[in-house]
């Protein structure tokens, strides 16, 4: 049987450790795909239920650089679904705990944790240098801020939201889709916290977000542009709702 080195002889850019680590994935996306992931950068806004799943899999899969933002501390009520955290982490900043756990998972990934509130000024510094932005937030006010800055810099934004057994997922890209605010223009902003959610719902939607990130970075498949995936864990069912594209570049407040 051929060794990993022989099997992936073409992967000269990757170390033997990387070839073995990503071997099952390289069989799917090739060495070229793995290198694309290594050369990519992603910003994840929110390190809660969605963010825990998103970060874990982005790091495991070998994304080159990940910026992640959250201003919260780990609480006991987080542990039901926020799988990066354990009992000894309670009271500590989420981003710092996440950094430690993720570094242990994959030291090849450059991690940039930011313990901060989402503001336009903060995002201005980071969004311009990443390839994809992931919305793992828990409130519409902050979502519309990342939407605005991602739109300004023409960065794809992968959105998900969850509650109870339900969730939705879509991808926003300027020139291809309306912005998030225009797509969800009937939605009223509401405060954060107190969300009712089953443990599995953010995990499922978080992994679907990562799947969209991979398609965008690898330039393969069909990202959810002008489509909203609606997940219902009670059935279970997944519906894809097609949205007619309307270019809001000229009319929206961005």
CB of 90 to another protein, least distance (A): 19
* Footprint (CB under 8 A) of another protein, residues 91-110: none
Residue 46 binds another protein (CB under 8 A): yes
**Residue 239 within binding range of another protein, rule CB under 8 A:** yes
Q: Contacting another protein (CB under 8 A), which of 184, 203, 212, 213?
A: 184
Number of residues that bind another protein (CB under 8 A): 42
Q: Please, are residues 123 and 146 in contact by the beta-carbon 8 Å criterion? A: yes
Residue of the chain from 103, 125, 128, 185 that contacts another protein (CB under 8 A): 185
- For another protein, what does the binding mask look like between residues 149 and 168, x meaning CB under 8 A? -----------xxxxx-xxx
Which of 219, 237, 250, 253 touches another protein (CB under 8 A)? 237
Q: If binding is defined by CB under 8 A, does position 241 make contact with another protein?
A: yes
Q: Which residues contact 168 (CB under 8 A, 6 or more apart)?
A: 159, 160, 161, 205, 228, 229, 230, 231
We find the least distance from the C-beta atom of residue 163 to another protein, in angstroms, to be: 3
Q: Does 252 bind another protein (CB under 8 A)?
A: no
Binding mask 59-88 for another protein (x = CB under 8 A): ------------------------------
Kindly list the residues in this chain that would bind another protein in the complex (CB under 8 A). Answer: 46, 48-51, 135-140, 160-164, 166-168, 182-188, 190, 195-197, 202, 228, 230, 232, 235, 237, 239, 241-244, 246
């Amino acid at each position: 049987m051929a060794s990993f080195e022989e099997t992936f002889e073409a992967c000269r850019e990757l170390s033997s450790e990387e070839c073995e680590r990503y071997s099952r994935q390289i069989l799917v996306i090739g060495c070229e795909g793995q290198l694309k992931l290594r050369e990519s950068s992603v910003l994840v806004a929110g390190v809660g239920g969605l963010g825990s799943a998103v970060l874990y899999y982005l790091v495991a899969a070998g994304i080159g650089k990940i910026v992640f933002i959250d201003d919260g501390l780990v609480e006991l009520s987080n542990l039901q679904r926020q799988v990066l955290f354990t009992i000894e982490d309670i009271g500590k900043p989420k981003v710092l705990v996440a950094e430690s756990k993720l570094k242990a998972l994959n030291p090849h990934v450059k991690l940039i944790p930011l313990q901060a509130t989402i503001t336009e000024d903060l995002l201005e510094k980071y969004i311009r240098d990443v390839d994809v932005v992931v919305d793992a937030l828990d409130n519409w006010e902050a979502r519309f801020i990342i939407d605005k800055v991602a739109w300004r810099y023409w960065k794809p934004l992968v959105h998900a939201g969850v509650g109870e057994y339900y969730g939705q997922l879509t991808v926003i890209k300027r020139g291809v889709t309306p912005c998030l605010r225009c797509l969800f223009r009937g939605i009223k902003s509401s405060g954060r916290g107190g969300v009712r959610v089953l443990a599995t719902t953010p995990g499922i939607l978080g992994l679907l977000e990562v799947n969209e990130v991979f398609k965008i970075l690898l330039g393969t498949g069909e990202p959810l542009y002008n489509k909203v995936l609606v997940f219902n864990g009670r059935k279970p069912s997944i519906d894809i709702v097609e949205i007619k594209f309307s270019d809001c570049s000229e009319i929206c407040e961005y």
